[in-house]
Structure 1
Amino acid sequence: MKNHKNTMLIAIIMLTATLTMNAQNQIFSIHADYVKPSMESEYVEISKAFVAECKKHNLQNADWTQLRLDNGTYITFEAIPNMAALDVDVFAPLVEKMGAEKFSALFDRYAKCYDRHGSYIITRIENLTYMPEGAIATQEGQNYRKYHYLYVTPSTSKMIAEKMKAIKELYAKKGSKEYYRVYHSGFGTLGEFFLVVISAKDELSYAKQSEENEAVIGDEGKKLLDDLFKNISRYDPITGYVLPTLSYNTKK
């Protein structure tokens, strides 16, 4: 039984590697804080104070975007060059400039805002992403996000990727204006999924954009999407907003 489990684990790792190991694919480090409703205002206040300290001391080699999901989860995501980057303590210079005691006090306040939090890795799959002008995670003036979680199994993952590739090709052929990014789950996630992310100005803009896209892709697109959804194991849509005031970009 032990050998059987090891064989299955190796097979899953190899399949995941096939999907994500591409020089053009971008890895992202994700941290999720499941903030208590009663502590949300405090959490935002602490985050603003932390960003202010980073700006004050001109923290380098650290760029992250923070967003809030409609279930109260706060997500911080940061592009990283490789997995080895996770071993680098980018906050070490900040601790030195702020002082260890002040830095720790700030994070002690964070700890009171949630009962659980965690980190994981996802990879943007460039050959499934549809952004003709270039794949970027943030677009100016488009802070609304619609996240479509498409859960798959080890036996269906490759098939779903092929179906998503066909959808991208149709969008390109039809000249669709509904751009999206596709990510694949990685280290630290529970369950395997593809994540489709669509940006818009707000909820109304997203709805209008989606309606217009349905007309553009027509029956051919509907057929491809229906076929995709028939083969996934679970679908979880969720809404979020990028929070520029809680995000940080290194000052060059």
Structure 2
Amino acid sequence: MKTRTTKLFVTLFTAVIAMGSYAQEKTTQAYWVHEDRIKPSMVMEYEKVSKELTEACKTNNIQTLAWISAQTDDLRYLFISPIDSLSDISKANQGFGTLRDKMGAEAFDKLFDDMDNCYTAHGDYVLVLDKSLSYMPGGITQTPEGQDYRRFVYLYTTPSGLGEMKEGMMAVKKMFEEKESKTNYRVYRSAFGSMDSFYMVAIAAEDGATYEMNRDANNKLLGPDAQAVFGKVMAHATEIKEVSGKMRPDLAYSPNN
């Protein structure tokens, strides 16, 4: 999950004002996402090296790095860290410098060279969790206990369509509240680093079979009128992608304080 420090410094100056507005909104939380797209033949090697990196951070108790991890079925690995501004990314990258000093340059560089051999592509972007659109009556969390399975639904739209799609998603949330749905979800929107405009809906479950069972039960609960409500979102979608995945706590890192 290597990042390019030079690129980050260049982009910090162009987007820090926009990111500042996200930090000020009490209903949102920004996340720095590093995404690795892995060659099918290199998955085992990639996971081996990723675990070595996580263990190195733990051994050296790197304080300025922390992330949760997810894996999608299309072989993308996501490393997700909360940020208040883009400057937090720069601070986090200092942690890799600290790790290099503690590990030694040769061992550190080999670790990332080995990781480079596993990619088809990798990069960084920001997603913003919109709590006002998310439906989790018991409290919003990215990692509900015992529910590591994920279904990610990407709802693409045009830049001008984001506002109207948001209105549709507010109507969906209101319907879930009125029906007292048992299906929880979180909504993220695209932000800095993404060429596309989209909302992403993340739904957690114990496993894939439980997800399908819950979806059927929820559809029955919502009833036939739900189609018109969902239509308020679909009317502004240019493309919809649905991807399965799972959380990877074994690839996550949090420092010992």
User: TM-score if structure 1 supplies the norm length?
Assistant: 0.89
Alignment map for 1:152-191 (pairs within 5 Å): 152-191=157-196
State whether structure 2 residue 66 is matched by structure 1 residue 66.
Answer: no
The Cα offsets for residues 20-56 of structure 1, whole Å up to 9 and x where unpaired, read as 8623310011111111111111000001111111111
**Hey, which bits of structure 1, 4+ residues long, moved more than 3 A?**
14-21
The Cα offsets for residues 95-150 of structure 1, whole Å up to 9 and x where unpaired, read as 22212221111101101111311111110011101111221111221111100000
State the AA in 2 paired with 1:201.
Answer: E
1:242 and 1:33 map into 2 onto residues whose CA distance is 15
For the 8 Å contact 1:20–1:123, the answer to whether it is kept is: no
Structure 2 residue aligned with 1:7: none
Where 2:224 maps in the other structure, the secondary structure is: helix
Moved more, 196-205 or 136-145: 136-145
| Structure 1 position 233, deviation (Å) | 0.8
Structure 2 residue aligned with 1:227: 232
Moved more, 202-211 or 83-92: 83-92
Moved more, 97-106 or 86-95: 86-95
Aligned residue pair count: 239
**Unmatched segments (≥5 aa) in structure 1:** 1-13
2:144 and 2:22 map into 1 onto residues whose CA distance is 26
Structure 2 residue aligned with 1:48: 51
For the 8 Å contact 1:33–1:73, the answer to whether it is kept is: yes
Alignment map for 1:208-219 (pairs within 5 Å): 208-219=213-224
**Unmatched segments (≥5 aa) in structure 2:** 1-16
For the 8 Å contact 1:20–1:184, the answer to whether it is kept is: no
For the aligned residue pairs, the C-alpha RMSD in angstroms reads: 2.1
State whether structure 2 residue 118 is matched by structure 1 residue 84.
Answer: no
Where 2:64 maps in the other structure, the secondary structure is: coil
1:45 and 1:93 map into 2 onto residues whose CA distance is 22
| Structure 1 position 65, deviation (Å) | 1.4
For the 8 Å contact 2:165–2:232, the answer to whether it is kept is: no
State the AA in 1 paired with 2:80.
Answer: F
| Structure 1 position 172, deviation (Å) | 1.1
Aligned residues with identical type, % of pairs: 33
1:239 and 1:134 map into 2 onto residues whose CA distance is 23
Alignment map for 1:198-209 (pairs within 5 Å): 198-209=203-214
Where 1:91 maps in the other structure, the secondary structure is: helix
| Structure 1 position 15, deviation (Å) | 11
For the 8 Å contact 2:22–2:28, the answer to whether it is kept is: no
Cα 1:29–1:247 change in 2 (3 A) is same
2:130 and 2:54 map into 1 onto residues whose CA distance is 30
